Amino acid sequence: MSLRAKLLAGLLAVLAALVAVLSLLVVLRAEQALVEVDRARFAAATQQLAEQIAYPVLAESDALLRAPLSAFALSPDLIEVTVLAADGRALATQRGRVDIGAGLTITAEVRTRAAAPGEERDDLDPFGISSGEPRVVGAVAARFSAAGTAAVQQGLRRDIALASAALGAVALALVALIAASVARRVRALADASARVAQGELSTRVDERGRDELAALARDFNAMTAALGKQRQQLDDAARALAERESLAAIGRANAVIAHELRNPLGILLGAAEVVGNEARPAAQRAQAAAIIGDEVRRLSARLDRLLAYARPRPPERRALGVRALFEAARARAQLPGGPAVALACDVNGDNERVLADEEHVAQVLLNLVQNAAQAGATRVALSVQASSSAGAWDLVVADDGPGLTPEVREHLFQPFVTTRQRGAGLGLAASRRMARDNGGELRADDAAGGARFILTLPKAMDLP
C-alpha cells in the first residue's frame, strides 16, 4: 500500500472515527433534549391540574376530584395520576389511556392561591383561596409513558447509524445537517414547552413532516389543545362550584349559628327559671341574675365574631386562677335547661394560675364539659397537672362516657365534622384554635375508659 493510500486510509479511519463519535454525541444530545421536552410538557400538564384542585384537596372529596381527574386522564401518554393530601395519604387515583408500566413520574405541589383584591374575605380558606401567603395542601403525582420518546430515539439511532456507515466522509456533513435540524426542531419543542409551563396554552409548534419529531410535534399540539380545553372546562366547573358552595355556605352558617346559640340560650333559660322561682334562696337568684347578664354579654360578643371565624379576636391574656375557671365552667354547665344539668362534675385544683384570655378558656372548658354530657357521660372530672411542656399547666377534662373511636379521633378537630345528628362540628375546632391563640394546645389523650382532653396553657409566672 502506497504512502498516499495509507494516508488516505488513515484519514478515512480518523474521519470514520470522528463521524462515529460525532454521531454518538448527536444521538446523546438529541435523546437528552427529547427527555427534557417530555418532562417539560408532562410537568406543564401536571402543574395545570395542581392549580385547579386546591379546594377538592382541602375538602378531601373524591366526588369533587373525579371531574378534573377524568378530564386529565384524556391527556396523551398518561399512565396514572394520584392526588395526595398534605400528610401523604392518597385521596384519588385515575388511570390514563396508556397501559405501560415504565415511564416518567412528575410531581407537582397543590397550593392555595392568593386572594385577589375583590376576594378579600375571611371565609375563603376552605375554598382553596388564601387571604395570606399561598400554602401547600397536597400534591399531584402523575406517571407518563416514555414510549413515544423511545420510538423517536430508536429512529434517530437507526438513521444516523445507516447514514454514517453508507456515506463515510460525506456522512460527517450529513450528520451535522441532521444534528442541526434535530436540534432546531427539538429546541423549538423545548421552547414551546417552557411557554406552556408558564401558562401560554395557545402555543403551537410546526408539525409538518412524517418523521418521529413531526409525530411528537403533533402530540405536543394535541396536548396543548387538550390542556386549553381542560382549563376552560375547569374554569366553568369552578364557577359552577363556587355558586353551589355559596349556597352550601349559607347552610353551614345556619348550622354554626345554631350551635353557637344553643348552649348559651340553654344557660339563659336555666338562669331565668332560677330568677323567676321565688322559692329559691336569694343568693341563688342573685347568682343566676348575674349569670344572665354575663351570658348575654358573651352571646353578643360571640355573634359579632361568628362571621369572622377564620380571623378571631386576638386574646386579651391575663393571670387566671385554674380552680375559679373550673368552678365557673361547672356552674354554667349544670344550670337547668343545659345538656349537662345531670352531669356529676368533680373539680380539683389549688393555687395554679395560667396566662390566658378568660372568655376563651371559659368557652373551651364549657364546650368540653357539654360534649361529655352529650356523648352520654354521667361524670366528668376537671383537674390540673404539670405539663410536659416547660412553663405550662395541663387542664384535664376526663369523663366516663363511651370514649373516642379511631375514626372519630382522626377528624376530631376538623370544622363542620360531627358525629351528632344536629351538631355543627365547630366546637372542638374553635376550641383548639382558641387554645393555640393563647399560646397553648388542645388535644385528645388516650384514656382507659371515656374521653380525656388536655388543654395546655402557659403558666402565669409572677403576674398579678
Buried b (16+ CB within 10 A) or exposed e, 304-314: eebeebeeeee
Q: Where are the beta strands (DSSP E) in 75-157?
A: 78-85, 90-95, 104-111, 113-114, 129-130, 136-144
Please, how many CA atoms are within 13 Å of residue 246, restricted to the half-sphere of its CB? 6
CA distance readout (Å), 35 to 144, 148, 179, 196: 12, 10, 16, 16
Length of the chain equals 464
E-strand stretches of 349-391: 353-356, 379-386
CB 440 within 8 A of CB 420: no
Distance CA 155, CA 33 (A): 15
* C-alpha dist (Å) from residue 326 to 189, 349, 366: 70, 8, 9
Q: 113 versus 94: which is more confidently predicted?
A: 94
Task: Give the per-residue pLDDT at 141.
Answer: 93
CA distance 424 to 367: 13
In this model, does residue 252 exceed pLDDT 70?
no
Give the H/E segment covering residue 456. strand 452-458
**What's residue 308's pLDDT?**
43
Quick: pLDDT tens for 279-312. 888 888 888 888 888 888 777 756 654 554 555 6
Closest Cα partner for 299 from 350, 243, 345, 366? 366
Can you say how many angstroms the Cα of residue 394 is from the centroid of all Cα atoms in its chain?
30
Q: Which H/E stretch holds residue 396?
A: strand 392-399
DSSP state of 115: P
* Phi-psi region at 373: left, alpha or beta (left = phi > 0; alpha = psi -120 to 50): alpha
For residue 81, the cross-strand partners are: 94, 142
Can you tell me the distance from the alpha carbon of 8 to that of 75, in angstroms, rounded to the nearest whole number? 55
Question: What residue has cell string 420518546?
Answer: 149
CA–CA distance, 207 with 439 (Å, rounded to integer): 62
Amino acid (one-letter) located at 42: F
Q: Which residue in this structure is represented by grid cell 385547579? A: 52
Under a CB-based contact definition with an 8 Å cutoff, are residues 214 and 208 in contact? yes
Residue carrying the nine cell digits 377534662: 397
- State how far the Cα of 387 lies from the Cα of 334, in Å rounded to an integer: 28
CA angle 421/424/430 to nearest 5° reads 145
C-alpha separations of 114 from 60, 92, 120, 129, 247 in Å: 20, 25, 10, 6, 23
Q: Could you read off the pLDDT of 219-251 as tens digits, one per residue?
A: 878 888 887 777 777 777 777 776 776 566 566
Q: If phi over 0 gives left and psi between -120 and 50 gives alpha, with beta otherwise, what is residue 226?
A: alpha
- Cell 397543590 locates to 110
> Does domain 312-464 bear CATH number 3.30.830.10?
no
Q: Are 201 and 231 in contact (CB under 8 A)?
A: yes
pLDDT score for 101: 59
Query: 386 CB contacts (<8 Å, ≥6 apart)?
Result: 393, 394
Contacts of residue 211, Cβ cutoff 8 Å, sequence gap at least 6: 155
Rounded Cα distance between 83 and 392, Å, is 40
Supply the pLDDT for residue 164. 67
Phi, psi (5° rounding) for residue 19? -65, -45
Task: Express each pLDDT in 154-199 by its tens digit.
Answer: 776 777 777 766 655 564 555 556 656 666 777 787 787 787 777 7
What are the tens digits of pLDDT across the range 407-452?
Answer: 888 878 876 656 554 444 567 888 898 999 999 999 998 777 789 9
Alpha helices in 277-357 (DSSP H): 282-306, 322-333
The CATH 3.30.565.10 portion of the chain extends over 312-464
3-state DSSP call for residue 356? Answer: strand
Pairwise CA distance, residues 460 & 340, whole Å: 30
**pLDDT (average), residues 90-103:** 81
As a whole number of angstroms, the distance between CA 248 and CA 243 comes to 9
Given the C-alpha cell 378530564, which residue does it identify? 71
* Residue-wise pLDDT tens digits, 10-42: 666 677 677 677 777 776 777 677 778 778 888
Question: Which value, to the nearest 10 degrees, does the dihedral of the CA atoms of residues 215, 217, 218, 223 take?
Answer: 130
Model confidence pLDDT, tens digit, residues 306-363: 554 555 678 999 999 999 999 998 888 888 766 677 688 888 888 899 999 999 999 8
Q: How far apart are CA 19 and CA 21, in angstroms?
A: 5
